[in-house]
């Protein structure tokens, strides 16, 4: 049972990193005014939301399995307050920080209609901070931090995020207009001809 918890904790941590990478890429793609990844905008937004929920599920499994795993020897306090753990406190603290940030994003997303769009958007920007924190946590702690396959997955995730950010900053990225900008955009009036005016009379 102990070995199963340890293997599950390692596997769920890696899957969480991959899903967070997908979330960041899809989040950038959802802001594009053009179809991203050969998908319509509503599909990109739907995948972004579902990938986020799945990442939260795997991250929760990662945290809970480490809490009950005697090898990890984590306290409940270590899962809430970063940089206070006994084992590799800096690298473990980065994982705790990423978990706290993701919890804040999920909670504010559930309360989005009460908080308002501006406050929600300010907290939602923390999602971009979650990804590098999770990447450094995975490479700095655990028994697989020197394994080639973990570095391969991590470098691949880094390549995806760098490519998405480069696309976001490039002139080829057509930003989707904000709701306020869409409201003030002038509406096209139908052209009228003398014949149509005569009929309307």
Would you call 157 exposed, middle or buried from its count of C-beta atoms within 10 A (0-12, 13-18, 19+)?
A: buried
In the structure, what pLDDT confidence band is assigned to residue 33 with cuts at 50, 70 and 90?
A: low
How crowded is residue 176: how many other Cβ atoms within 10 Å of its Cβ?
15
The sign of the dihedral angle between the CA atoms of 32, 102, 55, 93 is positive
Tens-digit pLDDT profile for residues 103-157: 888 888 888 888 777 888 878 777 788 899 999 998 888 777 778 999 999 999 9
Residue 159 pLDDT > 90, yes or no?
yes
Chain mean pLDDT for the chain: 80
Tens-digit pLDDT profile for residues 59-105: 999 999 988 887 777 888 888 888 888 888 898 899 999 888 888 88
Q: What is the DSSP string of 142-183?
A: STTTT-HHHHHHHHHHHHHHHHHHHHHHSTT--BPPPHHHHH
Residue 35 pLDDT > 70, yes or no?
no
């Amino acid at each position: 049972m102990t070995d199963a918890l340890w293997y599950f904790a390692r596997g769920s941590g890696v899957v969480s990193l991959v899903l967070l990478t997908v979330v960041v890429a899809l989040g950038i793609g959802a802001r594009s005014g053009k179809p991203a990844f050969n998908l319509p905008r509503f599909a990109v937004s739907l995948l972004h939301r579902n990938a986020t929920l799945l990442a939260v599920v795997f991250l929760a499994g990662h945290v809970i399995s480490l809490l009950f795993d005697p090898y990890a020897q984590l306290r409940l306090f270590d899962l809430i307050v970063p940089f206070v753990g006994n084992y590799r406190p800096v690298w473990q603290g980065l994982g705790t920080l990423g978990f706290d940030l993701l919890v804040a994003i999920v909670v504010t997303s559930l309360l989005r209609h009460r908080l308002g769009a501006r406050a929600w958007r300010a907290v939602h920007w923390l999602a971009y901070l979650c990804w590098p924190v999770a990447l450094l946590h995975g490479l700095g702690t655990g028994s697989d931090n020197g394994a080639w396959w973990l570095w391969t997955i991590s470098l691949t995730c880094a390549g995806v995020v760098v490519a998405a950010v480069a696309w976001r900053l490039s002139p080829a990225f057509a930003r989707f207009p904000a709701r306020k900008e869409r409201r003030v955009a002038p509406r096209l009036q139908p052209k009228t001809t003398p014949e149509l005016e005569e009929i309307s009379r």
